[in-house]
Amino acid sequence: MSDLPNCTECNSEFTYQDQGRYMCPECGHEWDESSEQVDGPQAKDVNGKVLCDGDSISVIKDLKVKGSSSVVKVGTKVKSIRIVDGDHNIDCKIDGIGPMKLKSEFVKKA
């Protein structure tokens, strides 16, 4: 049995190694030997891309701000996000609104 790690995207056990890179034949994902698994909270955007601290995102749906008459409009760009645990897994600051928590299912990586 081989000691190769499972795919970091789809968790497939059918990975193989080619010139120092691991590859998954099921989903086509490639990663380096030296890349480490993220131990902290993880969030994926609407397209399935993994979001990291410091990424920029854009909102894909009008979002009502709870306790206010404000609305975060579609296409609003947000810089320097922070990934946290919980239902609303993105902490950010939106210009004109202030600090907010967003769900990753309503954003895409910019």
pLDDT in tens, 30-87: 877 765 555 567 889 999 888 989 999 999 999 999 999 999 999 999 999 999 998 9
* Reported pTM: 0.64
Q: 92 has which bridge partners?
A: 100
Report CA-CA distances (Å) from 3 to 22, 63, 93, 98: 12, 46, 43, 48
* Beta-carbon contacts of residue 31 (< 8 Å; ≥ 6 apart): 8, 21, 22
State which amino acid sits at residue 74. V
